[in-house]
Amino acid sequence: MKDAQLFALTPGEPAGIGPDLCLLLSREAQPQPLVAIASQQLLAERATQLGLDIRLLPVGPGHWPQRPADAGALYVWDTPLGAPVRCGQLDPANAGYVLETLTRAGRGCLDGDFAGMITAPVHKGVINEAGIAFSGHTEFLAELTQTQQVVMMLATRGLRVALVTTHLPLRQVADAISAERLERVTRILHADLRDKFGLDDPRILVCGLNPHAGEGGHLGHEEIDIIEPTLERLRAEGMQLIGPLPADTLFTPKHLEHCDAVLAMYHDQGLPVLKYKGFGAAVNVTLGLPIIRTSVDHGTALDLAGTGRIDGGSLLVALETAYQMAASRAKAG
CATH number of 150-283: 3.40.718.10
Q: Rounded to 5 degrees, what are φ and ψ at 305? A: -60, 130
The DSSP H or E segment spanning 67 is none
pTM, rounded to two decimals? 0.90
* pLDDT tens digit sequence for 308-330: 999 898 999 999 999 999 999 98
Decide: 304 and 310 in contact? Cβ < 8 Å: yes
Whether 255 has a binding-site annotation, put simply, is no
Whether 212 has a binding-site annotation, put simply, is yes
Whether 138 has a binding-site annotation, put simply, is yes
Domain boundaries, the chain: 1-147+289-332, 150-283
Whether 94 has a binding-site annotation, put simply, is no
Whether 128 has a binding-site annotation, put simply, is no
How much is the pLDDT for 2? 47
Q: Is 68 helix (H, G, I), strand (E, B) or coil?
A: coil
- Cis peptide leading into residue 244 (ω within 30°): yes
Whether 167 has a binding-site annotation, put simply, is yes
**The two domains 1-147+289-332 and 150-283 share their CATH topology (first three levels equal):** yes
Confidence of residue 331 (pLDDT cuts 50, 70, 90): confident
Residues listed for the chain: 333
Q: Which CATH superfamily is domain 1-147+289-332 in?
A: Isopropylmalate Dehydrogenase (3.40.718.10)
Whether 137 has a binding-site annotation, put simply, is yes
How much is the pLDDT for 297? 87
Q: Is 329 helix (H, G, I), strand (E, B) or coil?
A: helix
* pLDDT tens digit sequence for 30-67: 999 999 999 999 999 999 999 999 999 999 999 999 99
How much is the pLDDT for 136? 85
Strand partners, 116: 7
Decide: 250 and 159 in contact? Cβ < 8 Å: no
Q: Please state, for a pLDDT cut of 90, what percent of the chain lies above it.
A: 90
* pLDDT tens digit sequence for 152-175: 999 998 999 999 998 889 999 999
pLDDT beyond 70 at 120: yes
Confidence of residue 1 (pLDDT cuts 50, 70, 90): very low
Whether 284 has a binding-site annotation, put simply, is yes
